[in-house]
């Protein structure tokens, strides 16, 4: 093994003496200072516009890792999965979380005891942008009526696909037979905030759903 390969094999960015006080993900201890620095820099150098989006890309990696993922529908089937918050128009990566398995911890003051994992991901990533009138776009992996209600109380709108099997999806929206391009809507009124769900059929079994709300309104749409 030459010197370059040796350096690559043993390179790390955290002092082993710090492990006793370390509070980040245990599996990322060696490189956590770099990850934290990148997150801080990405957020300090640029402020995204109104439209932001969340997704979970897979970075190609075929080496040994306890948290290496296999996702057959991705272009790279093996790799490191991360959750990323980006600006919709430019694709600028503003925040990210590396997925290290089921023990991945998401930290934000907006997480409560009844918050599910996908909602924890969303709230952790968007926390610095909450209460600033952003529009969050996300797919049906994250989207749910409960999450939308939570975001609405934090002055954040949402548009995205939604699994009709999710809890609290209005029955009217579930059962309405739609043709391509048709819409159906329903609304709920909780804690002084009205949220509306609008369902539009695109093709086959694919649907676009958007949620929006207004203070102190309770009229059916």
If asked whether residues 143 and 97 sit together in one domain, one would say no
Q: How far is it, in rounded angstroms, from Cα 166 to Cα 202?
A: 19
Considering the domain architecture, whether residues 220 and 176 belong to the same structural domain is answered as yes
Interval 140-150 mean pLDDT: 88
User: What domain count does the chain have?
Assistant: 2
Q: For residue 63, what pLDDT is reported?
A: 80
Closest CA to 85 of 67, 65, 108, 114: 108
Residue 117 to residue 6: CA distance in whole angstroms: 39
Q: Is position 158 within any domain?
A: yes
Segment 29-40 shows an average pLDDT of 93
Tell me, yes or no, whether 90 and 141 share the same domain: no
Query: By residue range, what is the domain housing residue 30?
Result: 23-105
Please report the pLDDT score of residue 66 as a whole number.
84
Residue 64 lies in a domain: yes
Question: What is residue 206's predicted lDDT score, i.e. its pLDDT?
Answer: 45
Contacts of 105 (CB under 8 A, 6+ apart): 25
For 2-43, the three-class secondary structure string (H helix, E strand, C coil) is CHHHHHHHHCCCCCHHHCCCCCCCHHHCCCHHHHHHHHHHHH
Residues 159 and 99 in one domain: no
DSSP state letters, 178-197: --TT-EEEEEEEETTEEEEE
pLDDT band of 87, cuts 50, 70, 90: very high
- Determine if the pTM surpasses 0.85: no
Residue 147 sits in the same domain as residue 97 = no
Q: Is residue 84 located within the same domain as residue 148?
A: no
- Is the residue at 18 inside a domain? no
Residue 154: band (very low, low, confident or very high) from pLDDT cuts 50, 70, 90: very high
């Amino acid at each position: 093994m030459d010197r370059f390969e040796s350096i690559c094999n043993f390179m790390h960015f955290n002092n082993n003496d710090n492990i006793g006080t370390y509070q980040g993900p245990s599996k990322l201890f060696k490189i956590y200072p770099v990850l934290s620095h990148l997150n801080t820099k990405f957020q300090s150098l640029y402020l995204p516009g109104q439209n932001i989006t969340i997704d979970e890309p897979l970075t190609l990696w075929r080496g040994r890792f306890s948290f290496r993922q296999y996702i057959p529908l991705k272009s790279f089937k093996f790799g490191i999965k991360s959750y990323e918050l980006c600006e919709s128009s430019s694709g600028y990566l503003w925040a990210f979380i590396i997925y290290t398995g089921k023990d991945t911890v998401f930290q934000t003051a907006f997480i409560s005891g009844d918050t599910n994992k996908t909602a924890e991901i969303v709230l952790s990533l968007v926390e610095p942008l909450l209460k600033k009138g952003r529009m969050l776009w996300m797919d049906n992996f994250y989207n749910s009526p409960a999450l939308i209600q939570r975001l609405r109380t934090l002055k954040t709108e949402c548009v995205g696909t939604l699994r009709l099997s999710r809890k609290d999806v209005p029955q009217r929206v579930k059962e309405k037979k739609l043709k391509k391009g048709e819409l159906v809507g329903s609304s709920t009124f909780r804690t002084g905030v009205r949220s509306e769900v609008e369902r539009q059929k695109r093709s086959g079994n694919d649907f676009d759903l958007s949620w929006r709300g207004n203070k102190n309104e309770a009229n059916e749409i």
